[in-house]
Amino acid sequence: AQKITQTQPGMFVQEKEAVTLDCTYDTSDQSYGLFWYKQPSSGEMIFLIYQGSYDEQNATEGRYSLNFQKARKSANLVISASQLGDSAMYFCAMRPRGGNKLTFGTGTQLKVEL
C-alpha cells in the first residue's frame, strides 16, 4: 500500500518569494510516479509536475520544481517567485507502476500575501 504524508496543513509566503511544500511517501514499489496538483477554490485539480522514480534529474515546469530525494522518500514542491494566483490547496500524489490508484496526501493550503 502507498501512503503520502504532507505535514504542513497551511503555509504563508510573500509575493515574489520562493516556497517549499513538503511531501514524503511510503511504498514498497520500485517503480512509481509522483505528482503535484493544485486545487483552487473552484475545485478543479490542476496538474503541475511529474517525477518518475527512475528519473535522475529533478523535474521542472516553469516556476515549479520538484526536489526529489529517493533515499529519503521525499518529493518536495518548490514554487519560485510566488504570485497571488498561487494561493490554493496543493496535493502530492503517487501512482505505482501498475497504474492503479493515484493516492493523495492531505494537502497543504498555500496563501500568498502582498
Partner 1 sequence: EAGVAQSPRYKIIEKRQSVAFWCNPISGHATLYWYQQILGQGPKLLIQFQNNGVVDDSQLPKDRFSAERLKGVDSTLKIQPAKLEDSAVYLCASSLDRTAGNTIYFGEGSWLTVV
Contacts to partner 1 by CB under 8 A: 4, 31-33, 35, 37, 42-47, 50, 52, 91, 93, 95-107
- Shortest Å distance, C-beta 47 to partner 1: 5
Q: What is each CA distance from 68 to 1, 24, 48, 91, in whole angstroms?
A: 20, 10, 15, 15
Nearer to partner 1, 41 or 114 (CB): 41
Q: What distance in Å separates the CA atoms of residue 110 and residue 114, rounded to the nearest whole number?
A: 13
Nearer to partner 1, 43 or 114 (CB): 43
- Shortest Å distance, C-beta 74 to partner 1: 17
Q: What distance in Å separates the CA atoms of residue 109 and residue 92, rounded to the nearest whole number?
A: 12
